[in-house]
Amino acid sequence: MLEYDFTFDPSKCEECGGKCCTGESGYVFVTPYDIEEISKFLNMDFNEFSVKFVRKVGYKYSLTEKIQKDGKGHACVFFDEETRKCQIYSRRPKQCVSFPFWECYKDDFEPLLKECIGVCKK
Ligand code: SF4
Ligand code: SF4
């Protein structure tokens, strides 16, 4: 189990409005298990869901993204721009569930302090 030098308060997400789901173009990687779970949640067939919402990135798969209506860059395809919330929150991919406790932030979490208001130095 990795130990981190920061804590995270998820109650800040409400106030933040989804900074980690928006902005620069990026990847929200999904496993076949994620695809299965999200498609079931949306009452969609696995293949139908994959064609509509998944793109191949090298040997991995990512959710697709959209351009935000307010012109502030990209957003994950499941980010609701009106409510500023995730539309699949209870079935969001592991990458989203584990944020901000990613291995890449284990040794250097300074960039996170600027990006995520829920992160606090211990
Ligand atoms: S950037 Fe941080 S506070 Fe904002 S929505 Fe993402 S996890 Fe929550
Ligand atoms: S799946 Fe949800 S939590 Fe993950 S990036 Fe997309 S909108 Fe954000």
pLDDT, tens digit, 9 for 90 and up, residues 29-56: 999 999 999 999 999 999 999 999 999 9
**Predicted local distance difference test score (pLDDT) of residue 3:** 87
- Report how far residue 22's alpha carbon sits from residue 73's, in angstroms, rounded to the nearest whole number: 7
**Predicted local distance difference test score (pLDDT) of residue 2:** 67
Q: Which residues of the chain have pLDDT under 50?
A: none
| 78 pocket-lining for ligand 2 (C-beta < 6 Å) | yes
| 118 pocket-lining for ligand 1 (C-beta < 6 Å) | yes
Ligand closest to the CA atom of residue 118? 1
| 28 pocket-lining for ligand 2 (C-beta < 6 Å) | yes
Closest CA to ligand 1's atom 8: 13
| 21 pocket-lining for ligand 2 (C-beta < 6 Å) | yes
| 92 pocket-lining for ligand 2 (C-beta < 6 Å) | yes
**Predicted local distance difference test score (pLDDT) of residue 1:** 56
What is the DSSP secondary-structure string of 5-57?
SEEE-TTHHHHHT-GGGEES---EE--HHHHHHHHHHTT--HHHHHHHHEEEE
Query: Rounded mean pLDDT of the chain?
Result: 95
**Predicted local distance difference test score (pLDDT) of residue 70:** 87
